[in-house]
């Protein structure tokens, strides 16, 4: 019986549905036969985590939210998406009928939220003490907040459902405003914080995980002082630090007990795997291809732009550069054991259209014959470098540069395997803002943050139309594109759901 319930918890959430707010299938599970022991609760909790890494039936996000975060960079100014709905969006086809990610972000988040709601409505029935129950509930309150934050940053205001029975009335429910969704997210985070353990991250949500999401949500909504305060709690807690090795953050051997990782989508051989090596590199499908603009954004080793540094050599443009460049992307001439020449040569790669290849998250130790069944890299969703840069950005907006801001940014730049020079002293608030934005671009390249940074900075309208896709066509971005449209199938099915403006 437990195995059947586990199957329903996991596959019921992931199964396709023509209407994503349909009544959740787990109401068919007998409460009398479940929710008795802590083991039952653990199985149910797995279902709440499942969207982060579990398989779905749509290869756009085939391994859950973790493994497709890189695709968001394909619709930023940093990369080009070769296939799928992200390619449609990059070629100015973001419409209610686009499908793919437009539908998936909506459907999968709501199914995950339904799983969380079902858990919270029933977990008190299990035979556990109050403190243990509270810790399990805290994880699920966080997860529900995370899934709603995903909806909010993508669609703006959405329908809020907090109890399983809400789905019975979903067709009559109107969407809440973006501000109301944000408040619900923050409420769930604060509830979670009351019972989450204050310890290092080892796969389960801890206090710093919730504070990190809180800082991000507040930052995205320009609540600067609150965002800085949330980030500073993690900094002052002293449980996390910048890892020595940058590339190690993104492959399994370096991820185990990594002091920088605060939240991740986790994978485990042999049953829970992803296909990132297959999709991005070893088979040279190269579904996301970095653009030259990203390569050019990395400074030279002296901390200066390539247009200003005497170290820059246009004949050997990738020498004497920020070490993160060649830990993030493959540049022409880099060693590449999967070509006859033994180097990456885009001129002889029929799939490559940009001249660059993703390196971040690719495990170079994988053999070409088994990459599709051995990719188990965890996808990092929140890390300490982001906490430092969120703190720096928010604090700068509140009061301008001070030593704590310099310390935060320089800690990221001074990583042992990177060693970029400290920021120059005496920066104005405007200059510091630009420096922090630049640092975010190169530090988090191909981690799914750049696109949403451009949206929240309100720079997408100027930055994205300057991007030239392979083939010579400039991208387009319109004011309506600051949010996605709701899937047309949802608007047709739920007459109370008002489509986002101008779609």
**Among 395, 443, 408, 405, CA closest to 427:** 405
Angle, CA of 318, 321 and 325, to the nearest 5°: 75
Specify the higher pLDDT residue, 396 or 67.
Answer: 396
Q: Which of 118, 142, 312 is nearest to 214 (CA)?
A: 142
Predicted confidence at residue 26, as pLDDT, reads 45
Please count the other Cβ atoms lying within 10 Å of the Cβ belonging to residue 121: 15
Q: Using an 8 Å Cβ cutoff, are 418 and 298 in contact?
A: no
Q: Show the DSSP H helices in 245-324 as ranges.
A: 252-255, 276-280, 292-297
pLDDT band at 284 (very low <50, low <70, confident <90, very high): low
Residue 247 has pLDDT above 60, yes or no: yes
How wide is the angle at C-alpha 392 spanned by C-alphas 387 and 396, nearest 5°? 150
Tell me what the mean pLDDT of segment 353-365 comes to: 89
DSSP class of 76? T
Candidate from 5-14, 166-175, 267-276 with smallest mean pLDDT = 5-14
What does the H/E/C string look like for 453-492?
HHHHCCCHHHHHHHCEECCCEECCCCHHHHCCCCCHHHHH
Q: Which one, of 261, 119, 282, lies nearest residue 202 by Cα?
A: 261
Q: Phi, psi (5° rounding) for residue 205? A: -65, 135
Domain 2-196+485-493: which topology?
1.25.40
Q: How far is CA 208 from CA 58, 155, 384, 390, in A?
A: 32, 26, 10, 14
Omega of the bond prior to 139 within 30 degrees of 0, cis?
no
Residue 23 has pLDDT above 50, yes or no: no
CA dist 415 → 261, 302, 307 (Å): 15, 15, 24
The mean pLDDT of the chain is: 89
**90 Cβ neighbours under 8 A, 6+ residues apart:** 74, 75, 80, 81, 469, 475
Q: Which residues lie closer than 8 Å to 287 by C-beta, 6 or more apart?
A: 71, 81, 82, 83, 84, 279, 280
Model confidence at 75: pLDDT above 90: yes
Residue closest to 234 by CA, chosen among 379, 393, 390, 380: 390
Which pLDDT band holds residue 498 (cuts at 50, 70, 90)? very high
Would you list the domain boundaries of the chain? 2-196+485-493
Q: Lowest-confidence range among 61-65, 91-95, 264-268, 499-503?
A: 61-65
Q: Which range (92-101, 141-150, 206-215, 301-310) has the least confidence?
A: 92-101
Beta bridge partners of 261: 383
pLDDT tens column, 145-185 = 999 999 999 999 999 999 998 777 778 899 999 999 999 99
pLDDT at 2: 42
Q: Does residue 228 surpass a pLDDT of 80? A: yes
Residue 370 has pLDDT above 70, yes or no: no
Q: Using 50, 70 and 90 to split pLDDT, how confident is the model at 430?
A: very high
pLDDT top residue among 428 and 284: 428
Residues in the chain, overall count: 503
Structure confidence at residue 401 (pLDDT): 99
Q: 316 burial class (0-12, 13-18, 19+ CB within 10 angstroms)?
A: exposed
HSE, side-chain direction, 13 A CA sphere, residue 242? 21
Give the integer Cα–Cα distance in Å for 197 and 237: 12
Q: Is residue 372 very low, low, confident or very high in pLDDT (cuts 50, 70, 90)?
A: low
pLDDT value at residue 347: 72
């Amino acid at each position: 019986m437990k195995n059947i319930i586990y199957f329903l918890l996991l596959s019921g959430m992931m199964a396709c549905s023509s209407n994503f707010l349909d009544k959740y299938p787990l109401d068919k599970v007998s409460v009398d036969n479940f929710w008795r022991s802590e083991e039952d609760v653990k199985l149910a909790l797995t279902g709440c985590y499942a969207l982060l890494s579990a398989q779905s039936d749509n290869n756009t996000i085939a391994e859950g939210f973790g493994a497709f975060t890189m695709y968001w960079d394909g619709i930023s100014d940093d990369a080009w998406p070769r296939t799928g709905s992200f390619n449609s969006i990059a070629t100015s086809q973001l419409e209610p009928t686009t499908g793919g990610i437009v539908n998936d972000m909506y459907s999968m988040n709501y199914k995950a939220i339904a799983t969380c709601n079902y858990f919270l409505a029933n977990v008190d029935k299990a035979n556990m003490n109050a403190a243990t129950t509270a810790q399990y509930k805290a994880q699920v309150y966080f997860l529900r907040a995370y899934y709603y934050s995903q909806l909010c940053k993508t669609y703006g205001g959405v329908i809020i459902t907090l109890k399983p029975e809400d789905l019975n009335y979903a067709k009559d429910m109107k969407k809440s405003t973006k501000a109301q969704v944000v408040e619900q997210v923050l409420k769930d985070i604060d509830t979670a914080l009351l019972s989450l353990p204050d310890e290092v991250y080892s796969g389960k949500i801890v206090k710093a995980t919730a504070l990190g999401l809180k800082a991000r949500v507040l930052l995205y909504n320009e609540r600067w002082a609150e965002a800085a305060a949330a980030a500073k709690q993690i900094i002052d807690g002293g449980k996390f630090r910048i890892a020595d090795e940058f590339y190690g953050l993104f492959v399994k051997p370096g991820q185990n007990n990594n002091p920088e990782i605060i939240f991740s989508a986790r994978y485990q051989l042999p049953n829970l795997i992803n296909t990132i090596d297959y999709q991005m590199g070893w088979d040279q499908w190269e579904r996301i291809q970095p653009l030259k603009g990203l390569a050019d954004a990395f400074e030279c080793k002296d901390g200066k732009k390539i247009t200003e540094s005497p170290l820059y050599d246009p004949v050997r443009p990738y020498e004497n550069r920020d070490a993160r460049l060649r830990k993030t992307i493959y540049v022409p001439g880099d060693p590449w054991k999967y070509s006859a020449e033994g180097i990456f040569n885009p001129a002889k790669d029929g799939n490559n259209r940009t001249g660059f290849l993703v390196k971040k998250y690719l495990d170079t130790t994988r053999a070409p014959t088994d990459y599709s069944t051995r990719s188990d890299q965890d996808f990092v969703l929140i890390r300490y470098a982001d906490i430092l840069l969120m703190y720096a950005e928010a604090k700068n907006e509140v009061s301008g540069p001070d030593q704590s801001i310099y310390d935060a940014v320089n800690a990221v730049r001074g990583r042992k395997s990177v060693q970029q020079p400290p920021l120059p002293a005496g920066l104005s608030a405007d200059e510091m803002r630009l420096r922090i934005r630049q640092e975010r671009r190169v530090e988090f390249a191909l981690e799914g943050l750049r696109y949403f940074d451009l949206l929240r900075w309100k720079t997408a309208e100027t930055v994205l139309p300057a991007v030239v896709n392979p083939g010579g066509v400039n991208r387009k971005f319109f004011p309506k594109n600051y949010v996605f449209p709701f899937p047309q199938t949802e608007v047709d099915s739920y007459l109370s759901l008002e489509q986002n403006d101008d779609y």
